[in-house]
Structure 1
Amino acid sequence: MKTSWPSLSFAEAKETYQTLHLWTQIVGKIKLVKMPWVNHSWHVTMLVTPTGLSSGTIVDGDTSFQIDFDFLQHQLQLKTSNGQFHAISLEKLSVSGCYHSLLQVLADCNIEVQINTTPNELVDPIPLHQDEEHDTYNPQHAAALHKALLLSQAVMQDFRARFIGKSSPVHFFWGSFDLAVTRFSGREAPKHPGGVPNLPDWVAQEAYSHEVSSCGFWPGNDAVPFPAFYAYAYPEPDGYKEAAVQPAEAYYHQEMREFILPYEVVQQAENPSAALMAFLESTYTAAADLARWDRNSLEVTQFQP
């Protein structure tokens, strides 16, 4: 059944996306310093929820807490296991304002936090505690992005369920501001070269310690200035870039070394979920076959009704 996927425009919503990206970095960095390390940085990711984005449970001694971006009430919310609740309005909130307000309400709950205020994976960023430049929040743009994330997540969860080898959850990375899911062959990979802006090389090297086929969605960036789905393999096998993938509008981006499918193609398809699943399956099949993954032992052969 056809679902109503929202229209997205990077050009129109860019300033809101930039502000959201930096806000999520504040929350993600709080999770980073409070949670034990999990391979491939899976412990720092956020979750797409029916109301927005959530840190999930974070532990601070005997207290557990959660930080949520609620795009229905347009609030940043803090909830604790002690019954405390604080809400910060997202409208007219600068990145600096978000940083200071959130750390203050955490302190009011006797939760002390110190984070590195340099944004990750961005070139020449403004420190989070000093950034008054980014303060745009358009509720309509945030709501449309949230709906697109929910619909994309549903398809990606179905895709993940078809794999019984090691796989990441479907989760949201605040460094790159994207929703992603990654499959692993089980074999070690060559050492990653690193070089990601404002990210220690060892983090990228640990993340790509084993062969992967990864896919996801992001709302646009300077390299791809439109919302898009992506897929890549590391290490990239010979012939991958020439592989035939679906839908026909998908293409290989030479600079990014990834397959790209514009979100608009999915949004306007007769069956958007089927179009997206075709992209996820065909790019994975290309990576797995060309790299000679043991697909018989990694994939579900019979689906439950």
Structure 2
Amino acid sequence: MSERLNAWPTLVYEDLAPMVDYVNRVVQVAGKYTLDEPFEVGWGNTVLGVTPRGLRTPTLRQRGVTFTVHYSLLDGGVVIEADNGSRTVPLSKGSVSMFYASFCDAADELGIHRPRSSLICEIPDAPPCFEDDHVERTWDGHAARLIWTALNLASDGLEAAQPTVPPPHQPPFMQNAQLDTYVSVGFSFGDAKAPNVGMYAYIWPKPDGLGDRSWGVEGAAWRPDAGLVRLPWAKLRETADPHQAIVAFGDAVYDAAVETAGWPSDLVGPRVEGWYMSKTPPALVQHQHG
């Protein structure tokens, strides 16, 4: 058990909050490029992939240049890698506005247009734009490694979901859900008002009857004030198999959609080593809108 607990470290929101706030802002810079991509249900195209050292955008293509942006959390730098070269923008010290200016200069050198929007989205009390965020910040390597570790472990569980084939008379897009009804399962560090580190889930539209359900893992519970089912990180890391617990949690949420919201139980075929889900990568990083 001690080996497992060491692999799934203790996460205290107050200790991680300054770095979570910093990372959440800077990753939105490259995230703006993905907002230019063709729309995908649930903004799945904005998700950053978890790499062995950080977070990466999908491969992006503009006229005359193909590139990707890698936020190397374990190295404290951002690498813009293009077919005509690469540039590294450090994160060691400075403000978000300074980082944004340096990022745009590096992108210009590679023939990549600057992000079309500089809005800071979905962060309470943040300035409206990257250029307006002048708070001096210092990179904390230890906190950055804890953040990456949590994202990597959560990703390992979320990616256990297996894509399935829809029934023969249903179109393939039904693998990717629909605009009006969906289940979302993800990981969050929380925020100052709700420092809830751990897994979360919701069903949209929200059905009745969620308060009395079991959610597959001891400690998981419906939180009506937030409209979310939460599985605290502290409870997750104490389970016999945290990876399987994430799968069980997501599976229980889908079962709740079937039983309380009238979802068809056979929409995506039989369960295969996980829960029912599309091929869209799991949402580990906060979605951006704007």
CA RMSD between the two structures: 2.4
Distance 1:81 1:280 in 2: 39
> Which position in structure 2 is the counterpart of 1:105?
106
Q: In structure 2, what is the equivalent of residue 289 of structure 1?
A: 259
Could you tell me how far 1:221 is from its partner in structure 2?
1.2
Give the superposition deviation at 1:266. Answer: 1.1
Letter in 2 for 1:23: V
Residue of structure 2 equivalent to 1:213: 183
The equivalent residue for 2:198 is: 228
Provide Cα deviations, 1:182-216, integer angstroms capped at 9, x if missing partner: x9795x6xxxxxxxxxxxxxxxxxxxx22111111
Residue in structure 1 matched with residue 151 of structure 2 by the alignment = 149
Asked if 1 retains the 8 angstrom alpha-carbon contact of 2:76 and 2:139, the reply is no
Distance 2:12 2:136 in 1: 19
SS at match of 1:298: coil
Match of 1:172 in 2: none
Number of residue equivalences: 264
Aligned to 1:39: 41
Cα–Cα, structure 1 residues 156 and 85, in superposed 2: closer, same or farther, change >3 Å?
same
Unaligned segments of structure 1, at least 5 residues: 167-182, 189-208
**Residue of structure 1 equivalent to 2:247:** 277
**What is the identity, as a one-letter code, of the residue corresponding to 1:110?**
G
Q: Which of residues 239, 250, 256 is equivalent to 2:220?
A: 250
Distance in 2, Cα, partners of 1:70 & 1:250 = 32
**Inter-CA distance 42–162: structure 2 relative to 1 (3 Å threshold):** closer
Kept after mapping to 1: 8 A contact 2:214/2:221: no
Corresponding residue of 2:81: 79
Deviation at 1:131, TM superposition (A): 0.9
Offset at residue 227 of structure 1 (A): 0.9
Higher relative contact order, chain-length normalized (CA < 8 Å, sep 6+): 2
TM-score norm. by structure 2 comes to 0.83
Runs of 5+ consecutive residues of structure 2 not aligned to the other structure: 168-173, 275-290
CA distance in 2, matches of 1:251, 1:128: 36
- What amino acid sits opposite 1:122 in the alignment? I
Task: Determine the C-alpha separation between the residues in 1 that align with 2:67 and 2:119.
Answer: 24
Q: 1:222 to 1:72 in 2, by over 3 A?
A: closer
1:301 offset after TM fit, Å?
Answer: 4.5
| Conserved 8 A contact 2:218-2:235 | no
- Given the superposition, is the C-alpha separation of residues 266 and 102 from structure 1 closer, same or farther in structure 2, using an over 3 Å criterion? same
Alignment partners' CA distance in 2, 1:15 and 1:46: 20
Task: Determine the C-alpha separation between the residues in 1 that align with 2:176 and 2:41.
Answer: 15
What is the deviation of 1:165?
5.0
Say if 1:259 and 1:164 are closer, same or farther in 2 by CA, change over 3 A. Answer: farther
How far the C-alpha of 1:107 sits from its partner, in A, is 0.6
Percent identity for Structure 1 against Structure 2? 22
Q: TM-score, normalised by structure 1?
A: 0.79
1:1-305, aligned counterparts within 5 Å? 3=4, 4-33=7-36, 35-82=37-84, 84-126=85-127, 127-133=129-135, 135-158=137-160, 160-161=161-162, 163-164=164-165, 186=177, 209-301=179-271
Q: Which amino acid counterpart does residue 30 of structure 1 have in structure 2?
A: Y
SS of residue in 1 equivalent to 2:194: coil
In structure 2, the CA distance between the partners of 1:39 and 1:282, relative to structure 1 (3 Å rule), is closer
Kept after mapping to 2: 8 A contact 1:90/1:137: yes
SS in 2 for 1:216: strand
What is the distance in 2 between the residues matched to 1:7 and 1:121?
Answer: 26
Q: Give the partner amino acid of 2:229.
A: F
